[in-house]
Amino acid sequence: MNSAHKAGPVKIAVRSDNFHLWRGRKDRLASKIIGLGGFVVIAAVLLILFYLIYVVTPLFLSAKMSRTVLTDNPAWLKSETSFLALEEQQQVAFRITENGSAEFFRLNGLELLESTEIVSGGRNVAVAMGAQGDSGLVAVAFEDGMVSLLQNQYSTDFSAGVELRKIIPKLDFPYGSGQRELMPGGGITGLALSDNEKELVLAVAGTGGRVRFERSLKREDFLSGEVSLEISVSALDVAFEIVAITISNDHRWLYLGDESGRIHFISTANMEVIQVVQVSDTIITSMNMLLGGISVLAGDADGNVTQLFPVRGGGNQYSLKEIRRFEGQQAAVTRIVPEQRRKGFMTVDADDNLTIFHSTAGKVVLTEKLSGQPAALALAPRASGLLVLYGDSPAEFMDIDNEHPEVSFASLWSKVWYENYSGPEYVWQSSASSNEFEPKFSLTPLAFGTLKAALYAMLFALPLALMGAAYTAYFMSPALRRMVKPAIEIMAALPTVILGFLAGLWFAPFLEENLAGVLSMMLVMPAGLLLFAWFWTRAAQSARNLVKEGWEPVLLLPVLVVLGFVSLEFVGPLQDMFFKGDLRTWLSHEAGISYDQRNAMVVGCAMGFAVIPTIFSIAEDAIYGVPKSLSDGSLALGATSWQTLVRVILPTASPGMFSAVMIGLGRAVGETMIVLMATGNTPIMDWNLFEGMRTLAANIAVEMPESAMNSSHYRILFLAALVLFMFTFVVNTGAELIRQRLREKYSSL
């Protein structure tokens, strides 16, 4: 018996040790799994951050240029180059010599491919000018006042394979091989050319202040397809020596530069001088049109380049405005060469400095010292290469790495004065149908729209979610709470695309038709509920006993339905009395408040509906988790239930409630589908409740599929994602710090 009695406890002890050992192993395993899961989450977040930075970084890298000296060709010494052009593949170039020869040559070895004499009789070229853009059309003006029009074109032969493709040049005379007299008596000093589908325009300046303007309307025979020109010539004589001339792409405006640093703004309709703008205290040394033919660039002897363009004022009157000034050069500007597909340009000064600018970004992109003053230079159509010919030294080819010149802090976040705008504005407009379009990449209206959408969503969600959480956790009957809380939490499972669909296709039209009724609910419902509550407190005790304590919200459901019906059905007389029968029309015509069907109010309600379950659930758990001993102690000391809630329960639960608010704000800021479907996605900066917006998240969803891989547009969209990421990171970090402080402050209660 004694032996058996002693053996029993030993066996039980062994079982107990095995049990604790197994439980310890499970605890350690669970701890490692949880730790690994946390590490994976942090690593995933960091990988997202690093990838965003990796994609965005090239936007802010400096431009680079590498130089290659081409084989010297003695043929260059026979005649100076009056005009130089480079084809897109950067294999073949085209030049017009001073003695009137048009030549195609290969860059590799400067081998001459084809030569054509465009003039006879020993006449020399006075000036040659290419048309705006990359059409290849060139006007050649001779010393005797005659002008020829020719076009350099290229085709690609792939018969030997892609790697061995061959560029085949062709010289064409689209408007005839003959010459036309533009400046009787000769003496041409400047030439401007512009060509579009409807008309061809030539403008020449001569000695003694003479200007001749030729407009040729194109007439196409619908049977033969032949194009004929209906030519009209206008003349203008000015009292100053013309040092530069150019013309707008729409052929409405002619610009003349003089020796006093002034630009004369002239209407081509009647050759009348509209305005004279003083852009410099020194002589204008070079002038050209920026891509698109809207902005004129004027360089002066001080090394400054000024951008100007016409701005429409009152009465449909235009005035020439100085938009921005570039001061990257050290000496007089001798050449201005615009890019053919972007709003950039390059200049050469008298000290042989080459500088690349971008007009919209308003910055110097790159500066390079040349080997000497170039006799001619040509920029490739994609602005990725530059061919420079010198008079007495070997030619150079410069490979340019300048992928994202349009990006700067000013272009992303500041107001920019864009072409055809009346003043500086924040604008996001990333694409258009032509290369002449000026991309507008301001992130400010997108960030503003993100904050606007989140603000109106939180204004709608916070009162309902927090007050509902406080009542549910503290006053509501436990049986009713067990039905209400899961029902609200199930709302969080609704896909946001469904909410956006309902908001855009049902709620937005409903709100437009019943705007006055919906707005009246904001006044009628609170007043009606307070009035009902007052009557309930004055009701007989026997009637109040019919409803169990904590079940009072059930009585409010029919009251809410009645109040909503009253607001919608009986608002008509009020509209007739105060708003001429239609509140929306009155807002637009009388109050000057524009109304968009898919507006911030629709987004606020729909997004607020999506955010309420998250805020409610977390806040309700925080309030319900306050120890009951605190509320019992407060009530025992004579405080009312309301005083206990406000002075004890809510302060104690404030860290959890604050976390709920911040999590709800984070979801509102990052919401995509509701904003995408319930607004007009217009990137405007207006706090108007009845206007739409475009958020960062919605903009990424809309434009990412159509952006070209690794383009500036593509990378700026990733920059928008990085801004959104950093915003939520900063907000969440600040929220956590505040939550910890609140927790320390009220932990002693």
Q: What is the DSSP string of 412-441?
A: HHS-B--TT-SS-B--EE---SSTT---EE
Q: What is the pLDDT of residue 3?
A: 46
Q: Rounded CA gap, 56 and 443, in Å?
A: 14
Can you tell me the distance from the alpha carbon of 286 to that of 300, in angstroms, rounded to the nearest whole number?
7
Of 612, 607, 621, which Cα lies nearest the Cα of 657? 621
Instruction: Give the Cα separation of 314 and 291 in Å (integer).
Output: 27
3-class SS of residue 408: coil
Q: Could you tell me the CA-to-CA distances from 344 to 390, 502, 623 in Å, in that order?
A: 24, 46, 60
Task: Find out whether 266 and 254 touch, Cβ atoms under 8 Å.
Answer: yes
* Tokens matching residue 69: 């000296």
Of the candidates 392, 289, 269, 294, the residue with the CA atom closest to the CA atom of residue 339 = 289
Determine how many CB atoms are found less than 10 A away from the CB of residue 467: 12
Structure tokens at 566: 């009253």
Please state the φ and ψ torsions of residue 702, each to the nearest 5 degrees: -75, -45
Scanning the structure block, which residue is given the tokens 């309420």? 612
pLDDT tens per residue, range 2-44: 444 444 555 544 456 777 788 888 888 888 899 898 899 899 9
CA–CA separation, 520 vs 14, rounded Å?
75
Q: How far is CA 512 from the centre of its chain?
A: 30
What domains sit in the chain, N to C, each tagged with a CATH number?
65-153+165-429 (2.130.10.10), 444-746 (1.10.3720.10)
Q: Classify 116 in phi/psi space as left (phi over 0), alpha (psi -120 to 50) or beta.
A: beta
The predicted pLDDT at position 202 comes to 92
* Residue 722 to residue 719: CA distance in whole angstroms: 5
CA distances from 507 to 260, 276, 610 (A): 64, 56, 14
Integer Cα distance of 85 and 590 in angstroms: 59
DSSP annotation of 268 reads T
Return left, alpha or beta for 316; rule: phi > 0 is left, psi -120 to 50 is alpha, else beta: left
Return all residues near 414 (Cβ < 8 A) that are at least 6 apart.
442, 444
Residues in the chain with pLDDT values less than 70: 1-16, 72-77, 120-121, 222-225, 433, 747-749
Q: What pLDDT is attached to residue 391?
A: 76
Residue of 482, 502, 449, 473 lying closest to 686 (CA atoms):
449
pLDDT at 634: 87
Give the torsion sign (CA, 544, 548, 554, 556). positive
Cα 368 from chain centroid?
Answer: 31
The dihedral sign for the CA sequence 407, 408, 414, 419: negative
Q: Which residues on adjacent β-strands are paired with residue 193?
A: 202
- The answer to whether the beta carbons of residues 390 and 376 sit under 8 Å apart is no
pLDDT digits (tens, 9 = 90+) for 482-525: 999 999 988 888 888 999 999 989 999 999 888 888 888 888 99
Separation between Cα atoms, residue 110 and residue 103, nearest integer Å: 11
Residue 384 sits at φ, ψ, to 5 deg, of -105, -5
Q: Residue 1: what pLDDT?
A: 44
Residue 422's identity, in one-letter code, is S
